[in-house]
């Protein structure tokens, strides 16, 4: 509920039991009590059927948009209901309205119930996103409940005895063509790719699973297969979606949706540091995607600018590269089952991970704070670019009792969010879901970013 409910002319509840007959309402698009313009901030609005049809992510965008002065104490939904007058000024003007008055205690219960329902809706996953392209021979068919890794014949295999199996084939240089190299890793390379039949542009991650021993190779194949099936189960506007996968020769081909804007790291290198408007917008989207992953018992473990991808408009961000991700066995937030596994980029890793301690969802929250520093400075935290020795960097982070240096010229609300993410004690870090309710996203600060942020 909005802080603009302090308007003394407003009704004390949402059931309109105290409304005068000459009350004039103006159209709104957002949560209850949120005007479209600062000029209309003096009016009160209530939860309507229009709001019920909104997605959870849209709901978050409109929380607490009313401008408030800095010396006013914050007003919560419940405190405002409790302190509201039991009768509105309209009672003294229109005596007929008094007959509509019900017990305000009942109204308060109804309002609190609506608040709980609205918060649940705001934190639920939104399914509103553009449909994923269909690529014949690659996209899972209606009969396939889970994604199928298409096993392709070796290039030297001339067995074409069963042409009925051809729709299951998705061969390079036949069904798809490899484009320019986008990036490389220790055992993988990422390319732009194009489907020959439909012209769909994709990104393909080619992962080699050839290792020195059969046992090690089997573990790698299992890990890659798990990453593919994990991505296939995910559907969220801030998570990169997988189109399909093939296995041919000694490598997997993982086809994911094409994000033309490139990575956050690429944009920082090309255009310089982001403004706070962009930083806040991207951070909110990272937290949305991260909250969805954590709700599905998934740790990403490698959040950094290189793994955050942007669309052609520069407005939508998706989390990608789940090569270091892992499944959690429990829903609980806090220390998890993992211990001593060094996965991810060192400069963005939480101290408890580098110390070999148990860790859980809080390690991803720490990485969000590190990404915020990267977006504001164009450099990884801890001045990592100046440390050539990885062991020295690990020791520096693991032994530190403070958070990485925070830029001095950053605004107080953004600084506060960073520090919350970068709490040394993992148990003191809020969850991604809780951070979405930070005043930076839900209260008066939102107006400062509305003009250019998503």
Question: Which whole number is the average pLDDT over 17-21?
Answer: 49
The pLDDT score that the predictor gives to residue 53 is 52
User: Which three-class secondary structure state does DSSP give residue 212?
Assistant: coil
pLDDT on residue 105: 64
* Higher-scoring residue by pLDDT: 411, 452: 411
Q: Is 430 exposed, middle or buried (0-12, 13-18, 19+ CB in 10 A)?
A: middle
Q: Assign 146 a pLDDT band (cuts: 50, 70, 90).
A: low
- Split at pLDDT 50, 70, 90, the class of 91 is very low
Distance CA 79, CA 337 (A): 40
pLDDT in the model for residue 31: 42
Q: Domain spans of the chain?
A: 3-123, 149-257, 262-449
Question: Average of pLDDT values for 257-283?
Answer: 96
Which of the four pLDDT bands, split at 50, 70 and 90, describes residue 452?
very low
* Mean pLDDT in residue range 413-427: 96
Is residue 313 over pLDDT 50? yes
> What is the Cα–Cα distance from 389 to 379, expressed in whole angstroms?
17
Percent of the chain past pLDDT 90, that is, above it, reads: 39
* Residues that constitute the known binding site for ATP: 205
CATH number of 149-257: 3.30.200.20
Binding residues: 205
Q: Is the pLDDT of residue 124 over 70?
A: no
Four-CA torsion 6, 12, 14, 17, nearest 10 degrees: -150
Q: What is the pLDDT of residue 66?
A: 40
412-421: string of b/e by CB count within 10 Å (b at 16+)? ebbeebbebb
The whole-chain average pLDDT of the chain stands at: 74
Name the more confident of 144 and 227.
227
Against a cut of 0.85, is the pTM above it? no
Give the mean pLDDT of 148-161: 57
| Mean pLDDT value of segment 314-337 | 67
pLDDT tens-place string over residues 331-355: 444 444 444 444 458 999 999 999 9
Q: Which residue's structure tokens are 């001593």?
A: 340
Is residue 142 pLDDT above 50, yes or no?
Answer: yes
Residue 302 designated active-site: yes
CA distance 435 to 365: 9
Angle at 195 between CA 194 and CA 198, to 5 degrees: 125
First to last CA, the chain: 21
Of the options 1.10.510.10, 3.30.360.10, 2.120.10.30, 3.40.630.30, the CATH number for the domain spanning 262-449: 1.10.510.10
In 174-289 the beta strands, taken as DSSP E runs, fall at 176-184, 188-195, 201-208, 242-248, 251-257, 262-263
Question: What pLDDT, on a 0 to 100 scale, did the predictor assign at position 58?
Answer: 53
What pLDDT does residue 88 have?
Answer: 39
What's the whole-number mean pLDDT along residues 407-415?
93
pLDDT digits (tens, 9 = 90+) for 40-52: 444 444 445 554 4
pLDDT at site 286? 97
- Supply the pLDDT for residue 193: 96
Q: Can you say how many angstroms the Cα of residue 229 is from the centroid of all Cα atoms in its chain?
A: 20
What pLDDT, on the 0 to 100 scale, is given for residue 240? 94
Residue 262 DSSP SS3: strand
| pLDDT value for 249 | 79
Whether the per-residue pLDDT at 140 is higher than 80: the answer is no
Which residue would you say has higher pLDDT here, 4 or 385?
Answer: 385
Check pLDDT > 70 for residue 37.
Answer: no
For residue 101, pLDDT beyond 90: no
Closest C-alpha to 273, from 394, 138, 373: 373
**What is the predicted pLDDT for the residue at 406?**
93
Enclosing H/E stretch for 373: helix 362-377
Does residue 378 register a pLDDT over 60? yes
Confidence of residue 144 (pLDDT cuts 50, 70, 90): low
Closest to 416 (Cα-Cα) out of 435, 397, 444: 435
User: Is the CB of residue 179 less than 8 Å from the CB of residue 224?
Assistant: no
- Specify the pLDDT at position 120: 59
User: Tell me: the pLDDT tens digits for 222-261?
Assistant: 888 888 888 888 999 999 999 999 988 788 899 999 999 9
pLDDT for residue 201: 96
In this prediction, residues 403-416 reach a mean pLDDT of 93
Q: What integer is the mean pLDDT of 384-412?
A: 88
- CA dist 168 and 156 (Å) reads 18
pLDDT at 2 over 90: no
Q: Is 150 helix (H, G, I), strand (E, B) or coil?
A: strand
Check pLDDT > 50 for residue 453. no
Which tokens sit at 291?
Answer: 């909250």
Joined tokens for residue 213: 């021993």
Q: How confident is the model at residue 275 (pLDDT cuts 50, 70, 90)?
A: very high
Listed in sequence order, the residues at least 6 apart from 212 whose beta carbon sits closer than 8 Å to its beta carbon are none
Among 57, 61, 302, 321, the active-site one is 302
Query: Nearest-CA neighbor of 1 among 66, 65, 77?
Result: 77
Share of the chain above pLDDT 70, in %: 60
């Amino acid at each position: 509920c909005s802080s603009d409910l302090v308007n003394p002319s407003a009704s004390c509840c949402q059931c309109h039991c105290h409304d005068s007959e000459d009350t004039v309402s103006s159209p709104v698009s957002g949560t209850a009590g949120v005007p479209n313009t600062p000029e209309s901030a003096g009016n009160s609005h209530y939860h309507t059927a229009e709001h019920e049809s909104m997605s959870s992510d849209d709901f978050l965008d409109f929380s607490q948009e009313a401008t408030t002065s800095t010396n006013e104490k914050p007003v919560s939904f419940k405190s405002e209901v409790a302190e509201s007058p039991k009768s509105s000024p309209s009672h003294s003007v229109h005596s007929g309205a008094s007959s509509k008055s019900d017990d305000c205690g009942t109204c308060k219960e109804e309002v609190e119930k609506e608040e709980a329902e609205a918060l649940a809706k705001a934190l639920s996953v939104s399914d509103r996103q553009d449909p994923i392209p269909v690529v014949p021979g690659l996209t899972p068919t209606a009969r396939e409940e889970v994604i199928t890794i298409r096993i392709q014949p070796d290039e030297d295999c001339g067995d074409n005895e069963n042409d009925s199996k051809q729709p299951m084939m998705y061969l390079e240089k036949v069904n798809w063509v490899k484009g320019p190299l986008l990036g490389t890793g220790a055992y993988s390379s990422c390319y732009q790719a194009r489907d020959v039949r439909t012209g769909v542009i994709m990104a393909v991650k080619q992962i080699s699973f050839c290792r020195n021993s059969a046992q090690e190779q089997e573990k790698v194949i299992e890990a890659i297969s798990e990453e593919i099936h994990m991505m296939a189960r995910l559907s969220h506007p801030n998570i990169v979606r997988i189109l399909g996968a093939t296995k041919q020769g000694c490598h997997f081909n993982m086809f994911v949706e094409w994000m033309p804007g490139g990575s956050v790291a690429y944009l920082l290198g090309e255009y310089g540091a982001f403004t706070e408007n962009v930083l806040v917008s991207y951070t909110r989207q990272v937290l949305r995607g991260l909250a969805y992953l954590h709700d599905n018992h998934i740790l990403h473990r490698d959040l950094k600018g290189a793994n955050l991808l942007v669309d052609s408009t520069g407005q939508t961000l998706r989390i990608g590269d789940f090569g270091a991700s892992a499944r959690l066995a429990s829903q609980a937030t806090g220390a998890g089952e993992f211990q001593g596994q060094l996965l991810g980029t060192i400069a963005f890793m939480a101290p408890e991970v580098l110390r070999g301690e148990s860790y859980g969802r809080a390690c991803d929250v720490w990485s969000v704070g590190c990404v915020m520093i990267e977006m504001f400075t164009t450099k990884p935290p801890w001045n990592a670019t100046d440390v050539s020795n990885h062991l020295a960097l690990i020791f520096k982070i693991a032994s530190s009792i403070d958070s990485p240096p925070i830029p001095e010229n950053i605004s107080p609300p953004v600084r506060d969010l960073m520090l919350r993410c970068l709490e040394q004690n993992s148990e003191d870090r809020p969850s991604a879901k809780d951070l979405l309710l930070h005043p930076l996203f839900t209260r008066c600060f939102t107006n400062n970013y509305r003009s250019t942020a998503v």
